[in-house]
Amino acid sequence: MIRRGLQSVVVLVLAACVRAPPSAPVPPPEVPAVRVVGLPVVEEAPASAPDLEVLLSRMSLEDKVGQLMMVGFPGKAVDPAITELVRGYRVGGVCVFGRNIASALQIGRLNDEVRALLADSVPPFIAVDQEGGNVVRLSDGNLVLPGNMVLGASRQPELAYEAGLAQGEDLHRLGFNMNLAPVLDVNSNPQNPVIGIRSFGDDVGLVSEMGARFVQGQEAAHIVTVAKHFPGHGAVDADSHKSLPIVRAPLLQVREQLKPFEAAMEAGLDGLMTAHIATPTLTGDELPATLSSRVLGGVLRDELHFKGLVITDELEMDAIDRHYGVGRAAVLAVVAGADMVLIPWRLEKKEEVWAALLEAARTGELSAARLDEAVRRILTAKIARGLFEPLPPLETRLASLGEKRSLAGRIASAGVTLLRSKPGLFPLPTDRRVAVISTEASLIDSMGKRFPHMTSMLVPAIPALKTRDALKRQARALAEAADVVVVAVTNSRQLELVTNAALSGRPVITVVLGLPYLGAQAHEAKVVLATYSYREAATEAAAAAIAGEQGTPGRLPVALPSLPFGHGLDPVGRRLAAKPAAPAAVGAP
């Protein structure tokens, strides 16, 4: 589930459609009027967590239906419309996106205001999807992780634990109590358009180990942790906002993709987010996993014995909405085994879901037992992670925001990977005339601090067609005036800049700030360095490695066409390790 973050635009595409869908969406039932009445009362500032069964017994049918809904809203401060949405529907949770965030102080206030709306009732989940890397909503003084694939390249599970803990602590300070992360998909398909560097890698064991430790760290910070996207989105090659991703892999491979989720469950995972994908070898049909009782009931509950929370991905995606309508899809998902449905965008879709779930509960299509089971799981997670406990004042919480921001640099340094090298070019003497061509200003800044004779050129990540020829001429001229050219690559469009720079006759160092598969396509580069991230911590680590200030200890977390999983060169690290320690001073203890 991804929309615009503060500094990046990423699209997560997780949708679904079905075999033999109905010819038109099912019209939503008439929407009943929403009134703020009958809220189940919770004593103020309870000395201990409330009794779940007592709380459940006080809930009306409307209260229970509201708990199934995770909603979003526009705006950066609570207003009458938000109040009516949150209190009127007694929602179980809200999900915050970039449209809601201006600063740390502002989002902290908004989250506290939302929580206060239900102070006399069941506190809501306040969720965000702060994965790190290219899925970041918050970046105002808090820790911003370089991303999962960087952690995978580090091969350090304890770093994953530290990352989950530190990120969770900052989220908690800002008033969040749920994070829709980490991604536990195994990126087994290099052509996958939606996972890529959001994954820890393409090896089931690596993803399982790193993911489980991240989960444990984040939950230690009292954050309800929802991993995604069950039963595994790493093997697809389709955009599920537009079409149904169907996993055609053999059954054994599909079941292998479940193992990271199993490992996380064994580590105490709170919840899972479902994927809008079809897995016919697993289920025997092309029903989306989000709506499939064979996936959510048979596999997840009966085979894997998962007792935690299940939340759907956005039901407003066209592949779901166009074939079912979000209201009908919400009913099918909950009947199949989902406990909460995510409807973050349009108000009329929330109304449709509320009406459909309420009608299904009244008619018995959604049985009282299934409804109570879902609400129990929701309340269990809220009680276990301390949602009924009061928070310290916002000013107190913000005083320690970002106290572990240096962890991002440690992770980036541990993950930087040298894929190809040539003596004399790596590490690069700092007196060389270096031309840097990059989409990221932070790399130019970091290189400029180390190479006084540097020239640079900042290029757009996706240049307009009419400007490309001029950019190539500019880059060529810059390269010809240098001794060495450093070209940063975030997507395949920048590969032509590598070719263009090489035509100048100057040696080229390519820094891959995105998918490591791009490194295998930079054929003209003499040196290829992978950071798996364009975040500032990653570009700083790249510049430090090029200048020989640090080693390149990372190992490929995926296999490339010409390089195996686990490949990585570290000439500087080996030299530093072999360097004899300085003798202790006389009289030193």
For residue 13, the model assigns a pLDDT of 32
Q: Which residues pair with 219 in a beta bridge?
A: none
Side-chain-side CA neighbours of residue 376 (13 Å):
11
Per DSSP, the three-state class of 145 is coil
Reference 264, options 293, 229, 312; nearest CA is: 229
What does the pLDDT average to over 343-351?
95
Q: Examine the pLDDT at 319 and tell me if it is beyond 80.
A: no
User: Which band of pLDDT confidence, cut at 50, 70 and 90, is reported for residue 241?
Assistant: low
581 — pLDDT class (breaks 50, 70, 90): low
Q: Is residue 13 a contact partner of residue 194, using CB atoms and an 8 Å limit? A: yes
Angle among Cα 89, 94, 96 to the nearest 5 degrees reads 145
Kindly provide the b/e burial profile for residues 207-234, where b requires at least 16 CB atoms within 10 angstroms of the residue's own CB. bbbbbbbbbbbbbebbbbbbbbbbbbbb
Amino acid 40: pLDDT: 41
More confident residue, 92 or 42: 92
What are the pLDDT digits (tens) for 443-474?
999 999 999 999 999 999 988 888 888 888 89
Contacts 24+ apart (CB under 8 A), 114-117: 114/78, 114/82, 114/86, 115/175, 115/391, 117/78, 117/82, 117/83, 117/86, 117/87
What are the residue ranges of helices labelled H in 364-393?
Answer: 368-384
Q: How many residues are recorded in the chain?
A: 589
> How many other C-beta atoms lie within 10 A of the C-beta of residue 413?
25
- Per-residue pLDDT of 515-539, as tens digits, reads 999 999 999 999 999 999 999 999 9
Q: What is the pLDDT of residues 559-571, one digit of tens each?
A: 999 999 999 999 9
Q: Map residue 357 onto helix, strand or coil.
A: helix
**β-pairing verdict for 93-95 and 125-128:** parallel
List of E strands, 146-280:
178-179, 224-230, 271-274
In this prediction, residues 414-433 reach a mean pLDDT of 96
In the chain, list all ranges with CATH 3.20.20.300. 52-395
Q: How far is CA 322 from CA 2, 128, 193, 483, 513, in A?
A: 20, 26, 22, 56, 36
Answer yes or no: is pLDDT of 438 > 90: yes
Q: What is the pLDDT of residues 274-302, one digit of tens each?
A: 999 999 999 999 999 999 999 999 999 99
Q: What's the rounded mean pLDDT across residues 210-239?
A: 94
Give the range among 166-175, 473-482, 577-586 with minimum mean pLDDT. Answer: 577-586
Listed in sequence order, the residues at least 6 apart from 244 whose beta carbon sits closer than 8 Å to its beta carbon are: 15, 16, 17, 18, 238, 276, 277, 278, 286, 288, 319
Query: Is 26's pLDDT higher than 60?
Result: no
Residue with tokens 């560097």: 197
pLDDT at 466: 87
| Closest alpha carbon to 497 in 475, 482, 516, 513 | 475
Query: Which residue from 496, 460, 498 is spatially nearest to 479, judged by alpha carbons?
Result: 498
Q: 463 or 362: which carries more pLDDT confidence?
A: 362
- Catalytic, out of 112, 140, 237, 241: 241
**Which letter does DSSP use for residue 581 in this model?**
P
Checking if the pLDDT of 318 tops 90, the result is no
pLDDT band at 585 (very low <50, low <70, confident <90, very high): low
* The predicted structure's pLDDT at residue 242: 65
pTM of the model: 0.90
41 has pLDDT over 90 = no
Strand order in the sheet with 417-420: 417-420, 527-530, 508-512, 484-489, 434-438, 455-458
Q: What does the pLDDT read at residue 25?
A: 40
pLDDT given for residue 584 in this prediction:
55
Q: What is the mean pLDDT of the chain?
A: 90
* CB neighbour burial string for 380-397, b if at least 16 within 10 angstroms, e if fewer: ebbbebbbbeebeebeeb
Tell me: the pLDDT tens digits for 322-336? 888 999 999 999 999
Per residue in 389-413, pLDDT (tens digit) is: 999 999 999 999 999 999 999 999 9
**Band of the pLDDT at 6, cuts 50, 70, 90?**
very low
Does residue 80 have a cis bond before it (omega within 30 degrees)? no
Start-end of CATH 3.40.50.1700 domains in the chain: 416-578
286: number of Cβ within 10 Å: 18
- Band of residue 239 on the pLDDT scale cut at 50, 70, 90: low
CA distance 152 to 454: 32
User: Counting Cβ atoms within 10 Å, is residue 579 exposed (0-12), middle (13-18) or buried (19+)?
Assistant: exposed
Q: What pLDDT, on the 0 to 100 scale, is given for residue 559? A: 98
Burial class (CB in 10 A: 0-12, 13-18, 19+), 364: exposed
Give me the amino acid identity at 154: S
Asked about 241 being catalytic, the answer comes back as yes
User: Which helix H or strand E contains 111, and what residues bound it?
Assistant: helix 104-117
pLDDT for the residue 509: 98
Helices of type H across 181-241: 204-220
Distance of CA 42 to CAs 33, 47, 248, 445, Å? 25, 12, 49, 53
Which of the residue ranges 12-16, 214-218, 541-545 would you say has the lowest mean pLDDT? 12-16
pLDDT of residue 90: 95
Which is the catalytic residue, given 129, 313, 321, 339?
313
Res. 22 pLDDT band, cuts 50 70 90 = very low
Active site residue 313: yes
Beta strands 508-512 and 271-274, pairing class: unpaired
CA distance 18 to 167: 37
What's the average model confidence in pLDDT over 357-386?
98
Q: Which of 4-18, 220-234, 468-482 has the highest mean pLDDT?
A: 220-234
Domain 416-578 has CATH 3.40.50.1700: yes
Q: Higher model confidence: residue 26 or residue 276?
A: 276
Question: Which CATH number applies to 52-395: 3.90.1150.10, 3.20.20.300, 3.80.30.20, 3.40.50.9100?
Answer: 3.20.20.300
